[in-house]
Amino acid sequence: MGTKILYVLGALAAVLLVRNLYVILLGLPDEKDQGAIYRIIFFHLPAFFTAALCYLTALISSVVYLVRKSQRADDLALSATEVGLAFAAVNLVTGMIWARIIWGIWWTWDARLTWALITWLIYAGYLMLRRAIDDPSERAKNAAVLCIFAFASVLITWKSIDWWRTQHPGAVLSIRGAEGGLDPAMESMIYFNWLALLLLCIVLVAVRMRQERVQREIDALRRHAHAL
């Protein structure tokens, strides 16, 4: 992706984030039961969606790598996983802050929380596995296989509120069939902030991919030098 496009996307993300923050903090009124803290949902939920999308991207590009052996696909899988982990961490931390205020404790061992954490650990394991393998092709291949296994936990996290009785609030978006949950202004705000985080995510992934490509070039040059 061209550097200019990246700058434009980055600037767009920044402007949108500032605008969203302004509306979230000053525009929208407090919620009647939760008070001010409900606003955290505008980051909690979009961060999860962004992370899930990253995991999905990693899954698809891992499959593409296994089929086509394209290094670019592997770069994308790695970059998406790294950025996804960052957004998943945002999701977990915002959730914990909210839980501290509303439930009075930082963490409940509730199915959805637990699965979000398990997923995070599995993808952290993915990064550790990559670190432990020296040969770049072998690394890409084994990581791709692990990534396919790992995605099962993303699916379980997503479905966990349906499968187990949990304290975690149920589906809130109207597209998941939630009834009368959210005020339309709030729901649209969630989408707006998701857009901002998504733009940020794309910029980060693109930058990481570029770093990976350069890293591979350096590795290849080093091997050339050794072969001389």
Partner 1 sequence: MNVVTANGLWKFFGDYPALRDINFEVESGACHAVLGRNGAGKTTLLRILAGLSKATRGDVRILGGDIRHPDTRRRIGILGHGIAIYDELSAIENLRLFARLYGLPHPDRSAQEWLELTGLKHVSDGLVREFSRGMRQRLAIARAFIHTPDVLLLDEPFTALDDRAMAVLQNLLRRELNRGCTVLMSTHQIREAMELATHAVLINRGRLAYAGLRTAEMLSDPNWLYKNYGDS
Partner 2 sequence: MTEFFRQSLSITVKDLRLEMRSKEALNASLSFALVILLLFSFAFDPSSEHTREISGGLLWLVFAFAGVLVLNRSFARELPNDCLEALVASPVSGAALFLGKALANFILLMALELLCLPVFGIFYNVNWTAQFWNLLLVLALATWGLTVIGTTFSALTVNLRLRELMLPVLVYPMMIPALMAAMELTTHLIAGQPLSADLWLWLRLLIGFDIIFTALALALIEVVLVS
Total residues interacting with partner 1, rule: CB under 8 A? 13
When asked if residue 69 is in the footprint of partner 1 (CB under 8 A), the reply is yes
- Per rule CB under 8 A, is residue 153 in the interface with partner 2? yes
* CA distance linking residue 15 with residue 28, whole number of Å: 19
66 in contact with partner 2 (CB under 8 A): yes
Beta-carbon contacts of residue 79 (< 8 Å; ≥ 6 apart): 204, 205, 206, 208, 209, 212
With CB cut-offs between 5 and 8 Å by kind, which of partner 1, partner 2, none does residue 216 bind? partner 1
Q: Per CB under 8 A, does 141 bind partner 2?
A: yes
Q: Which partner, partner 1, partner 2, none, binds residue 148 by CB below 5 to 8 Å per kind?
A: partner 2
Q: Name the token pair of 196.
A: 């901002």
Residue 152: CB minimum distance to partner 2, A? 7
Work out which of 105, 128, 175, 227 binds partner 1, going by CB under 8 A.
Answer: 227
Q: Which is nearer to partner 1, 105 or 227 (CB)?
A: 227
Element (DSSP H or E) covering residue 197: helix 184-227
Tell the smallest beta-carbon distance from residue 4 to partner 1 (Å): 26
Closer residue to partner 1 (CB): 174 or 215:
215
Taking the alpha carbons at both ends of the chain, their separation in whole angstroms is: 34
Collapse the DSSP code of 31 into the 3-class scheme (helix H, G, I; strand E, B; otherwise coil) and give the result. Answer: strand
How far is Cα 228 from Cα 218, in angstroms, rounded to an integer? 16
